[in-house]
Amino acid sequence: MKDIIYKEVYTRKVDREYNNKLMEDCKTSTDIKWDMKFEINPINMYKANDQLVKDMTNLTEKEIDELSVDEYDDILDKIKKIKSPSKK
């Protein structure tokens, strides 16, 4: 595996791309008469995480697909520490 270069800052653009991918194709509806409140759960966690790894590293989609699950999880953990430095 090649050396992974991480971006030092989790930017608004990366956050926006991640959240857009996370909620992609999510459909909701409400009935105004009933004034229902409900939580919208993300449905594209894998796509969103892949987008995050792609945006925060120098890895290509092909390289991301070829990572082992453990390698992928390690990369996500490092990115989460960059995203929220106080949660190291």
Please state, in angstroms and rounded to a whole number, the distance separating the CA atoms of residues 28 and 23. Answer: 11
Residue 47's contacts (CB-CB under 8 Å, 6 or more residues apart) are 21, 22, 24
pLDDT of the chain, 88 residues: tens digit per residue:
689 999 999 999 999 999 889 888 776 666 666 666 666 667 788 999 999 999 999 999 999 999 999 999 999 999 999 988 876 5
Report the length, in residues, of the chain.
Answer: 88
C-alpha span between 14 and 33 (Å, rounded): 37
Domain map (residue ranges) of the chain: 12-23+41-87
Contact of 55 with 14, CB cutoff 8 Å: yes
What's this model's pTM, rounded to 2 decimal places?
Answer: 0.74
How far is it, in rounded angstroms, from Cα 72 to Cα 82?
Answer: 15
